[in-house]
Structure 1
Amino acid sequence: MMVSETIMRIIIYNSYTLSKEGNLMKAARKVIHLFVIVLSLGALLAMAACGAQTAAPPASAGQTADSPEANAPDTRKYTDYKGNEVQIPVQPQRVIFAGETFGDLLVLGVDAVGAQLSSIKDHVFENRVKSIEDVGFPINLEKVLELKPDLILVASTDTKQYEQLSKVAPTVMFDTFAPLDERIAVLGDLLGKQQKAKQWLADFNAKAEAMWKQLRADGMKDGETASVFTYYPGDRLFVMARAGLPQMLYHPNGFKPTPMIQDVLNGSKGFMHISPELLPQYAGDRIFILIPAAGLEDARKSTDELMKSRIWLDLPAVKNGRVYSIDISKSDSDASTREWMLEELPRMLRK
């Protein structure tokens, strides 16, 4: 029953009762007094009712479509560096990473469900990798299906492989030859780790600046050049450019590439096959030689033969004792290896 209707019923009832007693004036005064009291009571009740309606949300308010949780999208559009548009999860939980910079994921605290174990085995971060499945090299599609990924990151730009993987889960081509800062920022965006990526880069870059400053104090000269070489199976000699150790060495305050290597860098190449006869044109003031992985005996043999050759022994860096050997698995450009190199590089140069 409405409050106003209740008030009127009370007034009418009391007016009738008092008038029957025969004292009309007295009745009138009591009715007026009662009317004021009841009106005040009604107003209070109305205010209380309004307050209750305003303060008490519907029981299901936390689950309505207007809540931030309900409105938050599960996926978003992303365009990779090759122009592929794909809907990716906002917070991927089951990531497969197929590329040579797996250590990038570790600094962001990401545990992938699958990777190419060749990019992990014998690397400086191997003992930090939790249980993970090998997707093979080349990638085994059946294994990928078995792992039920919600995001696949792949270094290969092979379009056929990309199409096959895209049928399994959202797939993004990831540039593993890109500079470290760019890669970590991209991964932070892809994996929902933007703040962690930003903080890690700030910390790492500060440590790198301090390292190069100390190396200069130890005798490194302005404009010193450096080169990185390695042998691959098939007696093929390569000069490294965008890939691997050069990313560390060619720091703004670090070593410079030789003019010939700069040409390779300008061509956005990770490395380039050269003949041993061209070594003098690419060799810098300091030379880093990457020792092939265990098991690649022919590549190791080629390396040994090169380092005994006349063309090698006549290089200024060799004559000046500025040649440094390092296992190729410890020379990658991934973030975890780069952290390790902040301490290892000064030790190498001081030998």
Structure 2
Amino acid sequence: MKKHSFVTLISAICLVILLSACGNNVGNGGTNTQPSASPEASAAAEQNGAANNGQQGEAAPKFPRTIKAANGDITIAEQPKKVAVVHWGYGDSLLLFNLESVGIALPFTEAQSVLHSESYKPYVDKVKELEIVGENTTVHMEGLLAYGPDLIIAGSSVNGEIAEQLEKIATTVVIDEAVTDVWSNWQALVTEFGHILGQEEVAEKYIADYNAKVQEAKEKLADVKGSVAFLQVRDNAVWLQGANYLKPYYEGMGLQAPEGDAQGEGAELSLEGLVALNPDHLFLGYFNYEDKSLSALTDEWEKSEVWSQLKAVQNKQVYAINGQLALGYGPIGNIYGVNAVLEALE
């Protein structure tokens, strides 16, 4: 009897253990998992999951965004609809982007500007409202105020003296011209504009297309022989454009600069200085290209016997281009220049 009772007790204990293990497996889906969360935690998790599912596939909102600028961390609350650039060298960078209303400051008067040129036409035509808020490098503060921008983009050097006034009109982003290298690296400036405007993809596409065009031009001009000089032609002065400044043409397209001390940074040039340079190919970047009523100093040079002795003149390798565009600081002018140089030398 004692032996039978002991066996019965052991069997009962084993049965209890077995039933307990089966119960845990059923509750845990047959896996060895952690204990179930509390009802409150489960409800919170469900709410979070629903919120995440609702956002799945949607792009994160682009605004508000904070820009690190020369005048501090600037928060742009909403997508700007009316944007003004008061730096006279930033205009064509702005026109690349998808904006219905823009205000632009110009390096010259509107009549002398390239806004009405064929190169600018596609960009100007897509803008519904374009206001001139400055001419001859001077910002018209009353005109800017009347335009009523949502956002102002300025330069740390060019607009430094009026920065506080600009900030009273609208949210103002001041770009450090030295850090961004606006005078010789428009790609960095366009990238910054894309970040400010929440249109990074526009900047990336334009830069990629431009770089592809430069590479194509370089391959087509690989057999060009001799030196190539670019002159900025004004009414009372001629300036040699240095290789350090015209990197898209020299480094980008593989052209050879003339020898000489001035060729790096460029310098004002006389006819005698041009004879000493004596390039094989000569590009005359006229600033009266759009308005022939203005004079050009080289018109007088071309009447001299000295001019006729230049290699480029004798070999018919002198080319006229729009100096405001090809020798300017911005992307629209630069792509015009690449195409013009390619057409001339190909």
For this structure pair, what is the TM-score category when the shorter chain's length is used for normalisation? 0.5 to 0.7
Aligned residue in 1 for 2:187: 181
CA contact (8 A) 2:67 2:196 kept: no
Q: Does 1:250 align with 2:250?
A: yes
Partners of 2:165 and 2:332 in 1: CA distance = 30
Aligned residue in 2 for 1:196: 202
- Match 2:341 to one of 327, 332, 345: 345
Q: Does 1:146 align with 2:146?
A: yes
CA contact (8 A) 1:135 1:144 kept: yes
Any stretches of 5+ residues in structure 1 without a counterpart?
1-46, 63-67, 266-271
The amino acid that maps onto 1:87 is I
Aligned residue in 1 for 2:169: 168
Aligned residue in 2 for 1:328: 323
Shift in Å at residue 114 of structure 1? Answer: 0.5
Aligned residue in 2 for 1:309: 304
CA RMSD of aligned residues (A): 3.7
Change (3 A) 1:306 1:188: same
TM-score by length of 2: 0.66
Bigger radius of gyration among the two: 1
Find the residue that maps to 1:255 and give its secondary structure.
coil
Equivalent residue runs for 1:195-274 within 5 Å: 195-216=201-222, 219-221=223-225, 224-233=226-235, 235-241=236-242, 246-258=246-258, 259-264=260-265, 272-274=267-269
Shift in Å at residue 281 of structure 1? Answer: 4.3
Shift in Å at residue 111 of structure 1? Answer: 4.5
Q: Does 1:122 align with 2:110?
A: no
Change (3 A) 1:284 1:193: farther
CA contact (8 A) 2:114 2:325 kept: no
Q: Does 1:99 align with 2:88?
A: yes
Partners of 1:193 and 1:146 in 2: CA distance = 26
Partners of 1:311 and 1:163 in 2: CA distance = 53
CA contact (8 A) 1:231 1:299 kept: no
User: Comparing both structures, which one devotes a greater share of its residues to helix?
Assistant: 1
Change (3 A) 1:230 1:283: farther
Aligned residue in 2 for 1:38: none
Change (3 A) 1:157 1:123: farther
CA contact (8 A) 1:99 1:119 kept: no
TM-score by length of 1: 0.66
Any stretches of 5+ residues in structure 2 without a counterpart?
1-36, 53-57
* Deviation string, structure 1 residues 92-118 (Cα, Å, up to 9, x no partner): 432212424533333343455201343
CA contact (8 A) 2:238 2:270 kept: yes
Find the residue that maps to 1:109 and give its secondary structure.
coil
Q: Percent identity?
A: 22
Find the residue that maps to 2:240 and give its secondary structure.
strand
Shift in Å at residue 335 of structure 1? Answer: 2.1
Partners of 2:163 and 2:330 in 1: CA distance = 23
Equivalent residue runs for 1:1-150 within 5 Å: 53-54=43-44, 57=47, 74-80=64-70, 84-85=71-72, 87-89=74-76, 91-97=79-85, 98-116=87-105, 117=110, 118-122=113-117, 124-129=119-124, 130=127, 131-137=129-135, 138-150=138-150
Partners of 1:299 and 1:228 in 2: CA distance = 19
Partners of 1:70 and 1:182 in 2: CA distance = 24
The amino acid that maps onto 1:250 is Y
Partners of 1:159 and 1:340 in 2: CA distance = 30
Change (3 A) 1:112 1:172: farther
Equivalent pairs, count: 281
